[in-house]
Amino acid sequence: MAEQTPPMPGSKVPCRKCGKPIIWATTTAGNHIPIDAQPDPAGNQAVFKDVTGTVRTAQLRAGDQPEGWQRRGMPHFPATTCTAPPEPPPRPAPTGPDAWVMTFADHERLLAETAAEQAGWAQRPSGRSEQEGQR
């Protein structure tokens, strides 16, 4: 499971789930990935800083060794080194004839319609219908 939106690449921050120090790096594809702050000899990422100072990472295949100016790092995900307890699975959406879900836009529209109706009621003369009030 991926982390939330990362801070600046290269920032050393605590993991939001387990608190371990991580570094956000940019992959060769331009995506952000959390990497354990400490080098890991079992890691599958070659971590390095480019000429602009951006922390980058490249996938190491089995048998590959990082270059002398790179260090071996481990991605920080629940399947690798994040020790946070697993998140509960999302609740299933309601089904069946009684399942009814209102979107926020529908809720806002309903509120506006109700407010308009109530404003119209307040403007009608008391005791007469709307048609009688227009005569």
Distance CA 36, CA 71 (A): 11
Residue 48 pLDDT > 90, yes or no?
yes
Tell me which long-range contacts 4-12 makes (C-beta under 8 A, separation of at least 24): 6/32, 6/34, 9/54, 9/55, 10/49, 10/53, 10/54, 10/55, 12/37
- Average pLDDT of the segment spanning 12-24: 91
pLDDT value for 106: 80
Query: How are beta strands 21-27 and 55-59 bridged, if at all?
Result: parallel
Which of residues 119 and 69 earns the better pLDDT score?
Answer: 69
How many whole angstroms from its chain centre is CA 13?
17
- pTM more than 0.85: no
Give 82: exposed, middle or buried? Use CB within 10 Å, 0-12, 13-18, 19+. Answer: buried
pLDDT value for 81: 92
Residue 39 pLDDT > 50, yes or no?
yes
